[in-house]
Amino acid sequence: MVITLIGYRGCGKSSIAPRLARRLEWTWIDSDRVIEERAACSIRQIFEAEGEVGFRRRESEILAELLQQDHLVLASGGGAILAEENRVRMKVAGPVVWLHASNEALAKRLSRDGSAGENRPSLTGRPIAEEVAEVMAVREPLYRECATLIVDSEREWPEQVARRIARQINTQAGYRFPSAAGDGGDR
């Protein structure tokens, strides 16, 4: 089984995935990092050389491979849900968790992250708040359709969100994970 974390960049996928994996005694992978490692360049450079179409092709190939693993928490790229084949594969592999945050919170987080602009291309060429709103207008229905579970990632620390995800997956699907109940220590 694979637990796939989806959501717009800045929602916390890369922060929550290792915490959730540790809690479950699983491994975790960030699909964007795998793409960059295999391409030996940043996502921004892939976009510049191959366009979004080339990047999305690479992304779908990597996801198809990663979703075959077992006992994996997968932090997917924010746009991975754009391809129907990816959404189907994610749902077949296991629970899909949408880490939801408001557009305002996402824009604020992205504005504070100086490295995001260096490594990730602008998708619209607009200021970050406008870009988030525009892109989310397209992606939100796809996140919603793909998600087994929707979790607010805006108001809690990553460890708290990881604990809540493990508990909710236990409750909803009857899975039993080793450390799902948690012991406190939320920060």
pLDDT tens, residue by residue, 28-67: 999 999 999 999 999 999 999 999 999 999 999 999 999 9
185 domain-assigned: no
184 domain-assigned: no
Q: Which of 74, 93, 73 is nearest to 85 (CA)?
A: 93
181 domain-assigned: no
17 domain-assigned: yes
Q: How many domains does the chain have?
A: 1
For every residue of 75-98, DSSP letters joined together read E--TTGGGSHHHHHHHHHHS-EEE
Higher pLDDT pick, 144 / 182: 144
pTM of the model: 0.87
Over residues 57-96, the pLDDT tens digits come to: 999 999 999 999 999 999 999 999 999 999 999 999 999 9
CATH code for position 158:
3.40.50.300
Residue 77 sits in which domain range?
Answer: 2-173
96 domain-assigned: yes
179 domain-assigned: no
DSSP state for residue 7 in the 8-state scheme: -
Over residues 129-173, the pLDDT tens digits come to: 999 999 999 999 999 999 999 999 998 899 999 999 999 888 765
Residue 70 buriedness (CB in 10 A; 0-12 / 13-18 / 19+): exposed
70 domain-assigned: yes
Strand order in the sheet with 27-30: 27-30, 72-75, 2-6, 96-100, 149-152
